Structure 1
Amino acid sequence: MNDGSTTLPWLVIREDDGGNRYRVGRYATRAEAEKIVDSLEGRKHKQLYWVERLGQKSR
């Protein structure tokens, strides 16, 4: 879609050491979101990252 209303239903979520959760980004496909998680986890930080669908109950 080029009309500016593209749906981005897949979220990458990050949880820090204090249990605070942040949305890292929104993506069109689960595969794209998982690729971002893989990239972030490869940075040797001890943060927790995961993918969830918009509207899905959080962990």
Structure 2
Amino acid sequence: MNDGTITLPWLVIRQDDNGNRYRVGRYATRAEAQKIADSLDERGHKQLYWVERIGQNGVK
């Protein structure tokens, strides 16, 4: 990271009632991404939220 770029390897993914998946955001740390996923999940909607690292499960 000495070239001035910021790496955001952690994604929050949302899956709706129809099985469609969307990227909610990208984050620098797993803890930061998990905090967002947990706060969205606490809203009580039927969507699922989880955290993935870029490159995991084919996510780029």
Query: Please, what TM-score do these two structures have when normalized by structure 2?
Result: 0.87
Cα RMSD of the aligned pairs, angstroms, is: 1.2
User: What is the aligned partner in structure 2 of residue 51 from structure 1?
Assistant: 51
Secondary structure of 2:19's counterpart equals coil
Query: Please, what TM-score do these two structures have when normalized by structure 1?
Result: 0.89
When you count helix as a share of all residues, which structure comes out higher? 2
Structure 1: stretches of 5+ with no match in the other structure: none
Q: 5 Å matches for 1:9-20? A: 9-20=9-20
User: What is the aligned partner in structure 1 of residue 7 from structure 2?
Assistant: 7
User: What is the aligned partner in structure 2 of residue 32 from structure 1?
Assistant: 32
Displaced runs of 4 or more, over 4 A:
none
Structure 2: stretches of 5+ with no match in the other structure: none
Q: 1:24 offset after TM fit, Å?
A: 0.1
Number of residues paired by the alignment? 56
Secondary structure of 2:56's counterpart equals coil
Q: Distance in 2 between matches of 1:24 and 1:18?
A: 17
